[in-house]
Every structure is written in structure tokens, then in C-alpha cells.
Amino acid sequence: MSVPLTLLGLLEREPSHGYDLKRDYDTFFGRGKPLPYGQVYATLGRLARDGKVVPGEAEPGDGPERKRYVITEAGVTEFEHWLAEPVAPEPTLQSVLFTKVVLALLLGRDAEAYLDTQRAAHLQRMRELTELRRTGPLVDALLADHGLFHLEADLRWIDLTTARLDALAAEVRA
């Protein structure tokens, strides 16, 4: 998740205070992982340095940094470019799982037991997400779905690998 670009996107909506940005970010994207204030201001600072946002005048008030940030033409261009660009499909999990399976087979360990444990862990997570999508609002449900589909894809890979473990072992040990 790219925090600078997300903040740019939120600013594209309307000029905002750092505090509003953090609140909106947490609401929509922060699922259980709120954005620290420090990171918000550091990011905004970097964006200002690169000329993608312009900080407004400090407004009178109690708290620190009551500045309203405004997005620049360069910022809009970069954000729109990013939005239009497809995300590179990343086979992220495969590397770790795959490495473990191959290593287990190489070392003569019980790869099937490992895959079963992984499978159970995946399903446990899927159960939690299923419960979340059942009880939470639609935004949560859609997020949970996203996670579920990813986990399901992993599970399919686990199933397939389990079924072809013997063949894989033969090839690895050869």
C-alpha cells in the first residue's frame, strides 16, 4: 500500500489538514493498522519537498500543525498516472511457501504435514474473515472477500502441491 499516493488521492478530493487525512486513511485503508501521526507529517513533508503538495498558512488554533495541504498540478498528474496504471501481479506468498516445501523435501522432512498445518492456518484465517464479512459493514465485507480470495488461491496451490508432492520430491531429490 503506497501511503504517499493514497494521501495524494485524499487531497485530490479537497484540501485537508493532516489530522483529517489520518482519520480518513484509517477509516478506509487502515484496517487494524492505524497510520501514525509522525508518518503522516513526514510523508506530507516529502510530498511538499517534491512539489506535489503545497502547505497552506498555519491557522490559528490550539494544536500544532494546523496547516491545510493542497495538491499541486504535479501531484494530480502523478496520482492520476498511478491510478490508471495496473498493479503488477505479484506472486508474493509463493516464494516463502515454495521455499519451505522444497527445503522440507530436500531435507527429508514431512512436507505434507507442513502443508496441512499451513492449510489449517489458512482456513482458520478464512474463518475469521468469513465471520468478519458476515458481521461487518459492506466495506469490511469487501475487504474480507479480497483476503478470502487470496487465501483461497493459496489453498488451491497447497491442495495441488499436496496432490503432487511425490512427483515433486522425486524431481527435487534427483
**Positions in the binding site for other proteins (CB under 8 A):** 116, 119-124, 126-132, 134-135, 148-149, 151-152, 155-156, 159, 163
CB of 97 to other proteins, least distance (A): 15
CB of 159 to other proteins, least distance (A): 7
CB of 129 to other proteins, least distance (A): 7
CB-CB contact of 143 with 136 (8 Å): no
Q: Which is nearer to other proteins, 30 or 147 (CB)?
A: 147
DSSP string, 85-139: SPPPP--HHHHHHHHHHHHHHHTT--HHHHHHHHHHHHHHHHHHHHHHHHHS-HH
CB of 99 to other proteins, least distance (A): 23
Q: Which is nearer to other proteins, 58 or 120 (CB)?
A: 120
Q: Which is nearer to other proteins, 82 or 157 (CB)?
A: 157
Cα separation, 112 vs 13, whole angstroms:
51
Q: Which is nearer to other proteins, 70 or 165 (CB)?
A: 165
Q: How far is CA 147 from CA 121, 122, 123, in A?
A: 14, 11, 12
Q: In sequence order, which residues have a C-beta less than 8 Å from that of residue 155 and are 6 or more positions away?
A: 119, 122, 123, 126
Q: Which is nearer to other proteins, 6 or 118 (CB)?
A: 118
Cell numbers found for residue 40: 503522516
CB of 35 to other proteins, least distance (A): 24
What 8-state DSSP symbol labels residue 59?
A: P
